[in-house]
Structures are given as C-alpha cells and as structure tokens.
Amino acid sequence: MVSLLSVMLGLPQGDYIELHRKRHGYRHDHFERKRKKEAREVHKRSAIAQKVPPSSPVVHSFGPPGSYVFLLGFDDDYELCIHFRCTLNRCVQALGIKGKMFAKKRYAEKALMKKTLAMHEESTSRRKVDDDVQDGAVPAYLLDRENTTRAKVLSNTIKQKRKEKAGKWDVPLPKVRPVAEDEMFKVMRSGKRRTKQWKRMVTKATFVGPSFTRKPPKYERFIRPSGLRFNKAHVTHPELKATFNLEIIGVKKNPNGPMYTSLGVMTKGTIIEVNVSELGLVTPAGKVVWGKYAQVTNNPENDGCVNAVLLV
C-alpha cells in the first residue's frame, strides 16, 4: 500500500518494488492477474459469507477498497447487483459473531450501493417537474377574492402561555411501566440477630442534593447508595437535536409516587429539573433561563447514565 505520504515525498529508500517497477515496468501478466483477481473477488466473498470460519483472518479485508469505486462508477453494472441479490437469497447465514458482523457489514454496503445506483438512475430518467407551490399562492379563479385576516392579534406572551398550559402534561413518554415497591427497594436486615427488617435500600438511580447529610444509621430508613447517585444527565434538546451533559437540580416528579419523588429516585419517565444555563436559553422577557424540566428516557440503573429529553 502506498500511503499518501510516500506519494507526496517520492519513493523512500526501502520501496524496492516501486523502484523496480519504475525501472523495468510491470510484470508481463500483471494487469491480467489483477483483472482476474478482481473478478474472483465476488466469489471469494460469497464463499466467506456462507461459511466464515470461527477465526477467519480475512473478515475485515474484502479486497481493496478501490473495487467498490470501480463498481459504483458504472451505471449499467446491474449484473453484479443481481448477482449479489441472488447470493443473498440463497445464502446460508454464516454462524457466530463473525458471521453476524460480516452480514451486517455487507448489508450496509449493499444498501449504500442501491442508493447510489438509484441516484444515478434518477439523473438519467425523465419526469415531470413538480415545483413547490409558494406559500399564499391562490388559483386563478380565486384571484379576485379578498382574503380575510384575523382581527385580533394575540400578544406573543399570551401565545406562549397558552402553549405552556396546553402542553403541560404533554411529555415525550406519557406512559411508563409501574415499578413495584419490592423492585424499588431491597430489604436490609439489622439488629444483632439480623431479625429487624425495617431498613430499605433503593436499588434505582437516585439524585441526592449536594447539601444532603445522612441521618445516623439508627434512624435511617431509606439508604440511597452512593454508587447509584447521579448528579449529571445527558439531556437532548428536541429542537436543536443536540445533547448536553447537564447538572441535575432536582427531581420534580416520579410517576410511581410522591415517596419516590421525595427520595429523588430516577426511573424511566421521571421529570427532573436540569441546569440549562450552559445552553443560553432566554425567556420572552429576556431573562436567562437556568432551570428547565426534562424527562428521563432510559433506565439509569441499567445503563449507568441518565438520558433525558428537555421539555420545551
């Protein structure tokens, strides 16, 4: 493989093959062999696809990347496509993780290839031009009519308020699976004989405020293990389509009950308040918003992180 650098800087001293070619030219059957090798490539690949050996060394190298370019460069190369489709149809799925990986890779390649082919096809085929209708365009027979407009103009703030009211409980995850108490808590035994069972340990992710201090263990009914405490969440802004790692301010509501809300348990569907000062959002009045609600969209205890969608 000739790297970009060596192209730029000429032949390094160790590149004796290139030097030889430069001096004496290619081997007499070089191009013939190359052509044959390329032609053989598809067969080889299908053989691999049908039986990837458990530890095949060539799983990730299916010929030079240039071969795809070659394929895609020709619009009328349907035969190969058909060939691929056929092999796919009668293909025996290779076994194991390597087989799966291979199949997935091929699938992606083929999808890309089809898309590209379709694109090329589009450029050649003729069809009617279908221009978009401009906003406010009126057919000719209605041209003489006058349009009526609403007289009353709602102020921007009122509009905003209405919107907020209407969408108050309109959250991305309207329904969540209820979490039973025995799933939420683990019973801890205490006492010298381990017979007392009034202590509970929260098994879900929790948010614990920075100023929280534990009660003395004798009186502590609910234990929120420090390993499961989170104070940051990955919050996605649905309109910006961007995700930010924001600090959690508090748990607003846990759908499973007020007790969980007060404990700061974060399960799927919980509304949390996050610090959005980094985002630089501004209220209509021009103040910087710093706290906003977001809904947790994953099971934090299973994923090891809190993902949430900003409620806007």
Partner 1 sequence: MVQYNFKKITVVPPGKDFIDIILSRTQRQTPTVVHKGYAISRLRQFYMRKVKYTQQNFHEKLSTIIEEFPRLDDIHPFYGDLLHVLYNKDHYKLALGQVNTARNLISKIAKDYVKLLKYGDSLYRCKSLKVAALGRMCTVIKRIGPSLAYLEQIRQHMARLPSIDPNTRTVLICGYPNVGKSSFINKITRADVDVQPYAFTTKSLFVGHTDYKYLRYQVIDTPGILDRPFEDRNIIEMCSITALAHLRAAVLFFLDVSGSCGYSIAQQAALFHSIKSLFMNKPLIIVCNKTDLQPLEGISEEDMKLVMEMKAEAMKTVLGQGGEPTNDEGVLLTMSTLTEDGVIAVKNAACERLLNQRVEIKMKSKKINDCLNRFHVALPKPRDQKERPPCIPQAVMEARAKEAAEKEKRKTEKDIENENGGAGVYSASLKKHYILSNEEWKEDIMPEILDGHNVADFIDPDILLRLEELEREEGLRQAVEEDDDFEMDGKELTSEEQEALAEIRKKKSLLIQQHRIKKSTAESRPIVPRKFDKNKEFTTKRMGRQLSVLGLDPSLAINRARSRSLSRKGRKRERSPAYDGGDAMDVDVDTPKKKLRARSRSLSLSRSRSRPPSEVTPGEGFKDSAQKVKAIKLGKKSVKMRNKDARNGRGSNNDVLQSSRQLPKFARSYGGSSSIRFFIRRFMVAASKEAGNAFWSDKFTFTSFSLPGYMLFWQF
Q: Which residues bind partner 1 (CB under 8 A)?
A: 1, 3-6, 8-15, 19, 22-23, 59-60, 97-98, 101, 186, 203, 225, 227-228, 299, 301-305
For helices 66-73 and 30-50, angle between their N-to-C axes, nearest 10 degrees: 100
DSSP state of 217: T
Minimum distance from residue 36 beta carbon to partner 1 (Å): 27
Q: Which two tokens stand for residue 148?
A: 């009526």
* Residue that is written with structure tokens 């041209």 in the block: 143
- Closer residue to partner 1 (CB): 5 or 180: 5
The alpha-helical segments, DSSP class H, found in 174-289 are: 181-184, 258-263
6's enclosing H/E stretch is helix 4-8
Minimum distance from residue 243 beta carbon to partner 1 (Å): 13
CA 274 – CA 230 distance, rounded (Å): 12
CA 242 – CA 238 distance, rounded (Å): 7
- Closer residue to partner 1 (CB): 64 or 273: 64
CA 309 – CA 307 distance, rounded (Å): 7
Alpha-carbon dihedral sign for residues 214, 217, 223, 225:
positive
- Closer residue to partner 1 (CB): 65 or 286: 65
- Closer residue to partner 1 (CB): 68 or 277: 68
Cα–Cα–Cα angle for 181, 247, 252, rounded to 5 degrees: 40
Minimum distance from residue 250 beta carbon to partner 1 (Å): 22
CA 224 – CA 258 distance, rounded (Å): 16
DSSP state of 228: G
CA 295 – CA 129 distance, rounded (Å): 45
Minimum distance from residue 301 beta carbon to partner 1 (Å): 7
Minimum distance from residue 293 beta carbon to partner 1 (Å): 25
Give the pairing type, strands 222-223 and 196-202. Answer: parallel
- Closer residue to partner 1 (CB): 106 or 292: 106
Minimum distance from residue 138 beta carbon to partner 1 (Å): 53
DSSP state of 218: T
CA 176 – CA 255 distance, rounded (Å): 8
- Closer residue to partner 1 (CB): 117 or 233: 233
Minimum distance from residue 18 beta carbon to partner 1 (Å): 10
Minimum distance from residue 241 beta carbon to partner 1 (Å): 18
- Closer residue to partner 1 (CB): 11 or 176: 11
- Closer residue to partner 1 (CB): 186 or 196: 186
